[in-house]
């Protein structure tokens, strides 16, 4: 009887150890194959609409109007330039001068004042006729040659629109163009009389109809007036 009890106890202990060892071996075994992917879930509901953002700060007063004006100017600048070029071209094509005036096809017309006057008196006389002492044409040799042939058959020394009265020591044409080697045809060595000779006349006896500086009030010459063919030029 005692042997049977001992046998049962031993058998029970062995059985428990077998279960424990089996469990331990199962925990350390290789991983199983992954299962099949499940059916995808249903699409979630759309979230609530977000809140409306705050409005931006308003543009400074007048900014939009200024921008509109700038855009308009940029848009029409090319058209304005084309129109100006067209007007200038038409002026150049208009060669009919006023009565008593001569046009050498440079967009200007000319007239000689045959009464001998000082430089200042000559300029006032030209201005009274809506003109000024000649400047534009005097900067072009072909125009000077044209005028010499057409107008100066008797007189040779004639006032033109060149002096240093407004800018002491700096010779400037009456249309505010500075006198340089390119814009003023001086006789060789001129101007040379310093502060006493501050006005210029042109000498049509010289080959290139060149200028000389003389006193403005101490001499009296004829004068050459110049003005545009029409008011648009």
Q: Judge whether 96 and 72 are in contact, CB under 8 Å.
A: no
Q: What is the pLDDT of residue 14?
A: 37
Return mean pLDDT, the chain: 78
For tokens 């009919």, the residue is 96
Residue 20 confidence (pLDDT) above 70: no
SS3 24: helix
Average pLDDT over residues 145-163: 87
The tens digit of pLDDT for each residue in 34-55 reads 666 666 667 667 667 767 767 6
pLDDT confidence of 17, banded at 50, 70, 90? very low
Q: What is the pLDDT of residue 1?
A: 45
The tens digit of pLDDT for each residue in 215-229 reads 999 899 999 999 998
Average pLDDT over residues 210-215: 94
Residue 25 confidence (pLDDT) above 90: no
**Token representation of residue 10:** 């031993």
Q: What is the pLDDT of residue 153?
A: 67
Select the highest-mean-pLDDT range: 92-101, 126-135, 198-207, 224-233: 126-135
Residue 213 confidence (pLDDT) above 70: yes
Q: What is the pLDDT of residue 5?
A: 37
Residue 63 confidence (pLDDT) above 50: yes
The tens digit of pLDDT for each residue in 72-125 reads 777 777 788 787 667 666 665 555 788 899 999 899 999 999 999 999 999 999
Q: What is the pLDDT of residue 91?
A: 61
Q: What is the pLDDT of residue 26?
A: 41
What are the backbone angles phi and psi of residue 110, rounded to the nearest 5°? -135, 150
| Higher pLDDT among residues 130 and 59, named by residue | 130
Q: What is the pLDDT of residue 12?
A: 47
Percent of the chain residues past pLDDT 70, beyond the cut: 69
Q: What DSSP line would sit under 127-195, residue for residue?
A: HHTT-EE--TGGG-HHHHHHHHHHH-SS--EEEEEEESSSSTT--EETTSPBP-TTT--BPTT-S-SGG
Residue 4 confidence (pLDDT) above 50: no
């Amino acid at each position: 009887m005692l042997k049977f009890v001992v046998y049962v106890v031993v058998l029970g202990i062995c059985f428990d150890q077998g279960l424990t060892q089996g469990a331990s071996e199962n925990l350390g075994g290789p991983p199983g194959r992954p299962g099949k992917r499940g059916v995808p879930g249903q699409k979630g509901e759309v979230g609530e609409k977000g809140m409306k953002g705050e409005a931006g700060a308003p543009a400074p007063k007048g900014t939009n109007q200024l921008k509109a004006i700038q855009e308009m100017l940029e848009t029409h600048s090319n058209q304005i330039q084309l129109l100006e070029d067209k007007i200038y071209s038409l002026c150049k094509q208009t060669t009919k001068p006023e009565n008593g005036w001569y046009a050498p096809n440079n967009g200007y017309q000319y007239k000689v004042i045959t009464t001998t006057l000082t430089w200042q008196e000559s300029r006032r006389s030209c201005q009274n006729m809506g003109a000024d002492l000649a400047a534009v044409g005097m900067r072009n040799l072909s125009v000077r040659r044209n005028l010499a042939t057409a107008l100066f058959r008797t007189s040779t020394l004639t006032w033109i629109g060149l002096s240093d009265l407004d800018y002491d020591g700096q010779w400037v044409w009456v249309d505010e163009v500075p006198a340089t080697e390119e814009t003023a045809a001086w006789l060789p060595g001129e101007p040379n009389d310093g502060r006493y000779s501050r006005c210029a006349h042109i000498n049509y006896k010289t080959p290139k109809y060149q200028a000389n500086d003389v006193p403005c009030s101490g001499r009296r010459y004829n004068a050459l007036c110049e003005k545009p063919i029409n008011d648009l030029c």
